[in-house]
Structure 1
Amino acid sequence: MSKPIRVVQWSTGVVGKPALKAIVAHPLLELVGCWCHSPDKEGQDAGTLCGLPPLGVRATRDIDALLATKPDVVCYMPQFPKIDEMVKILEAGCDIVSTAYFITGTQFGPEAKARLEAAAQKGGSSIYGGGVNPGHANIIALVASAGCARIDKISVLESVDATPYESAGTWEAIGFGLKVDDPAAPPLAERAMPSFKEAVEMMAEALKIAVDQIRFDVEYAAATEDVDLGYMKIGKGCISGLRCCWSARVNGKAVIELKVAWKLGTKLEPNWPVEDGWLVEIQGQPNIRCLYQQTGGTRAFDPATLTAMPMIHAIPQVFAAPPGIIRAHQLPLIAGAYTVNT
């Protein structure tokens, strides 16, 4: 590649910080802009915001100023996506890689998805979404499936004590902190995690499955005492854990399952055991079991880096991709290029 890929980092939150650091460290990428959500961060050096020396790039909340830097790619990592922002970025000819609840765009409805597609075609740009899960874990499952002559069911289970993920807004949006019998909790969880359903759709597309239905089921665990996590509080009897499943069904049979078991702390009932990782299981010929797990214990658990890095590593492939909404199985292999410590 004759010149670096010009990148804007959109947000410097929990996931945005390791993403920005990785952009700066990557030999094929050049940081040319930084968007911030908070007025307090505006005008600060991007390096300062992520614990690096000054980089000479100032954070801004002005999207036009960012697009004026002529980025090739925007690393779009707000807490929640906004269609108007994404359309504007794509129409400006900038590719998007995103961890903001985006896999296929189906969740936004036909009209909004069509806007994204049209914007990408107009700008000659592409958009790709993922993270660790949904995203990387689904890719691992698809790669594992290549060893099978027959697949009866393929499942991905994320089960973690997610306490180190210090984002109260994320957990509250899913329903953590509500009473376990609050009727608003299940639909809130389903609405707040639409990218999991999109990941089921993506896997079904890759596996050439015509799905009849995608079903959502959820159950909760209650805090057994008042819990103070430092970044949020959960009252006794309120949701401190959940287990949910999105299942793709054909003729009433589940053929793909994406399952999540999250808990905040250990003071909850039931206190489900967790793998602190991602378990891929395939029932078929042959049966396959893969555990993708970060080692080093709870203190070393780094979900933010695990979420950010698959997107940073995908930037060169997305930059080279044709215009449109790109699915993981449509890209060349994404590996941890330029990260080996020699």
Structure 2
Amino acid sequence: MGKQTLKGIINHPDLDLAGLWVHSPEKAGIDAGDFCGADSTGVISSASVEDVLAIDADCVAYLATDLRRTPAELVADIGRILRSGKNVVGVQASMNFPTIHGEDLVAELEDACREGNTSYYPTGINANGSQTVLAAMASMCQRVESTYLCEMYNFETYEDPEVFGYFGYGLTPEQASSHDLRPLFEYLFGPALHMTARWFGVELDEVRWDQEVAYAERDVVAPLFRVDAGTVSAIRFNLDGYVDGQCRVTQGGCYWLGDYPRHWEAPPGEGGYRVAIKGEPEMQVQWATRTRNESFRGPLAKERNAEGLAIMGGLMATAARAVNSIPELCRAAPGIVTLCDQAPLLPPVDWRRGGVGDTEGAVFAGARN
């Protein structure tokens, strides 16, 4: 994500790269362009946060991972940047809706914004960009009863080795039966679930969890991981948000290595997103993310298959959401900015009168079969 966003900033006609903060000493002292295959920028990376925060800049794109870190640890970094007088845009899914992490964390962010006269905007493609598509669809409905959003990608070429252990790939059926994925995905996608509900004017009173795994029919050797035949190679899940016993919002995910399970409904293209609304009228949209090998130079350059290019397209879109938001974020009033503050005009949403199937909620055709 750092390389993708860095490339986006360097190539953006309205942005000038002012500095580059790296988290390990071996990455310091390198021209920013060398990280992503761009031309020389004259901006040299630094591992000193004090030196970087002393730079005169309007905004910081904060791209550190939220895996293995708590919201409080993230906010310690983000708050320090905000207090230095720099706006912050971040792509950590767990921070998409800071309210769910408690009043103290929100107060810390708001205090930092007031002190620095700055704004903080958590964004990305999932959640945030895909929620924007959902909102646009909802604006064309006379009534919305429930919504469904699902991200779907082959993680075979994903370049974070710890993801594989977290997701349970390579577990035997016996191990998989006791491997609870809910804490991880509620941390990553729970904010999107609650943000969507807030967008439509309701508070969830219950979140239910549904997960399913599939097993590899052959050995899969990925660049950073190996999955043996007969072990977990695919997972899919749904976080279902309920109001008064009726499912109103679903946030789902489906991730696999090697071959996509034949008994599951096929994904959009080589990977992408599905969105569905149950209401009047009902709507379903899906889209694939794609890019080209020619789009990458330097450390990002390598030959990728179609599914590898699909997930790179998703990462590119995540970076674009952050980069493209910077000019407007710098004009925003001080404080936390979330998607709830930017919603397009939506029609009245009646989630008190449901229709058939409300105990399950909206779903893309075949997505739970």
Is TM (by shorter chain) over 0.5? yes
Aligned residue number for residue 53 of structure 1: 39
Given the alignment, which residue of 209, 213, 235 partners 1:220? 213
Given the alignment, which residue of 285, 289, 309 partners 1:300? 309
User: For residues 214 and 35 of structure 1, do their structure 2 counterparts lie closer, same or farther at Cα, with a shift above 3 Å needed?
Assistant: same
Give the letter for the 1:298 counterpart: E
Give the letter for the 2:179 counterpart: A
Aligned residue number for residue 3 of structure 1: none
Paired residues of 1:222 and 1:269 also in contact (CA < 8 A): no
Matched, 1:122 2:121: no
The 2-side partners of 1:184 and 1:321 are apart by 46
Q: Secondary structure at the match of 2:55?
A: coil
Aligned residue number for residue 91 of structure 1: 83
Paired residues of 1:190 and 1:216 also in contact (CA < 8 A): no
Matched, 1:325 2:336: yes
Q: Secondary structure at the match of 1:139?
A: helix
Cα distance, 1:48 vs. partner?
Answer: 0.6
Aligned residue number for residue 134 of structure 1: 127
User: For residues 50 and 69 of structure 1, do their structure 2 counterparts lie closer, same or farther at Cα, with a shift above 3 Å needed?
Assistant: same
Q: Secondary structure at the match of 1:120?
A: helix
Matched, 1:259 2:252: yes
Cα distance, 1:165 vs. partner?
Answer: 2.7
Aligned residue number for residue 148 of structure 1: 141
User: For residues 211 and 107 of structure 1, do their structure 2 counterparts lie closer, same or farther at Cα, with a shift above 3 Å needed?
Assistant: closer
Cα distance, 1:233 vs. partner?
Answer: 2.3
Cα distance, 1:41 vs. partner?
Answer: 1.4
Paired residues of 1:160 and 1:263 also in contact (CA < 8 A): yes
Give the letter for the 2:195 counterpart: M
Q: Secondary structure at the match of 2:276?
A: strand
Matched, 1:246 2:239: yes
Give the letter for the 2:90 counterpart: S
Paired residues of 2:272 and 2:314 also in contact (CA < 8 A): no
Matched, 1:44 2:44: no
The 2-side partners of 1:262 and 1:103 are apart by 21
Given the alignment, which residue of 262, 276, 285 partners 1:281? 276
Q: Secondary structure at the match of 2:284?
A: strand
The 2-side partners of 1:107 and 1:237 are apart by 38
Cα distance, 1:108 vs. partner?
Answer: 4.0
Q: Secondary structure at the match of 2:164?
A: helix
The 2-side partners of 1:34 and 1:314 are apart by 19
Paired residues of 1:99 and 1:307 also in contact (CA < 8 A): yes
Aligned residue number for residue 185 of structure 1: 179
What is the TM-score normalised by the length of structure 2?
0.79
Relative to total residues, which structure has the larger helix share, 1 or 2?
2
The 2-side partners of 1:299 and 1:263 are apart by 12
The 1-side partners of 2:99 and 2:340 are apart by 17
Give the letter for the 1:94 counterpart: K
Paired residues of 2:193 and 2:249 also in contact (CA < 8 A): yes
Which protein, 1 or 2, shows the higher relative CO under an 8 Å CA cutoff with sep ≥ 6? 2
The 2-side partners of 1:40 and 1:264 are apart by 31
The 2-side partners of 1:85 and 1:73 are apart by 14
Paired residues of 2:135 and 2:343 also in contact (CA < 8 A): no
Aligned residue number for residue 9 of structure 1: none
Give the letter for the 2:81 counterpart: I
Aligned residue number for residue 24 of structure 1: 10
Q: Deviations over 1:112-162 (max 9, x none)?
A: 332222212222222111211112111110111000111111111222223
Cα distance, 1:317 vs. partner?
Answer: 1.8
- Give the gaps of 5 or more residues in structure 2: 292-305, 345-369
Compute the RMSD of aligned alpha carbons: 2.4
User: For residues 179 and 93 of structure 1, do their structure 2 counterparts lie closer, same or farther at Cα, with a shift above 3 Å needed?
Assistant: farther
Cα distance, 1:323 vs. partner?
Answer: 2.0
The 2-side partners of 1:310 and 1:198 are apart by 17
Given the alignment, which residue of 49, 73, 83 partners 2:59? 73
The 1-side partners of 2:209 and 2:107 are apart by 25
Relative to total residues, which structure has the larger strand share, 1 or 2?
1
The 1-side partners of 2:98 and 2:332 are apart by 17
